[in-house]
Amino acid sequence: MRRISKTSIVAAIEDAASYARTMKQAAAVTGAPGVGKTTALEAVAKSHPSFSIYVGGARQTPRAFTSLLANSLGYTTKAESTARLWDIIEGWLAHPQFDDILLIDEAQNIPLALLKEVVDFPSRFGVPVLICGNAELLKRQRATGAAFDQVSSRVAKRVVLNAPTPEDFQTIAVDFDVFGKDAHAACVDFGHNTSIRELVQVLEAARVYAEDGPLRLQEIKRAVSWIKGTHALRLLSRAA
């Protein structure tokens, strides 16, 4: 099972989700790629009734996104038109389950006209929404001023994620049973030089070498070499 460490990123996204759910509003979280947004959304989805959508790394067509949204609500799409699917979605949203929240990852890739509809779900249907994405998500340059204002005015809470802290990397190291001051320091430095995502990938790979024992610096170095090549060992030092 994938490990979800209680980092400051997870705490910030959980707080945004709690606000959206409590206030029946739309909230938005933006942060750099690899900072841990997707993992944090997984934590929220596991702890509360929710419907999650991973939009993906490419711009979505209106039909593709509408299908993703319908599928997340439990409807198996066939050859329906976008308009027909939207009617089905709105019919379901008119009778939401108690305390459900809609979680959307990589939301910057949603067509702007549909993003405007999504962030309006709280006012129209009482369904709270949390959208997450990169810095492009709520940039004015993405749209005309009027379209931007229509989206922006419907987002009641915005959170801009800070860079992960050394304590975040330490927390991840502890959760992966990293042993030794040198190994912990290497995890902090590697996370600082790369990202939370890449640190987790390395520690998951290191588990192959350590099996059920603690992860020592030796296993972490082997994992880095395996995934990124020996030249990347320098990333285990802050001097990199």
**Residue-level pLDDT at 238:** 80
Whole-angstrom distance, CA of residue 240 vs CA of residue 233: 9
Q: Return per-residue pLDDT of the chain as tens, 240 residues.
A: 456 899 999 999 999 999 999 999 999 999 998 898 988 998 888 887 677 777 776 788 999 999 989 888 888 888 889 999 999 899 888 876 656 889 999 998 988 889 999 999 999 999 999 999 988 777 655 555 666 678 888 999 999 999 999 999 999 999 999 999 999 999 999 999 999 999 999 999 999 999 889 999 999 999 999 999 999 999 999 865
Whole-angstrom distance, CA of residue 235 vs CA of residue 127: 44
Longest dimension (CA), the chain: 59
pTM reported for the whole predicted model: 0.85
What does residue 130 show for φ and ψ, rounded to 5 degrees? Answer: -125, 120
Whole-angstrom distance, CA of residue 28 vs CA of residue 51: 16
Q: What is the CA radius of gyration of the chain?
A: 20
Whole-angstrom distance, CA of residue 99 vs CA of residue 223: 42
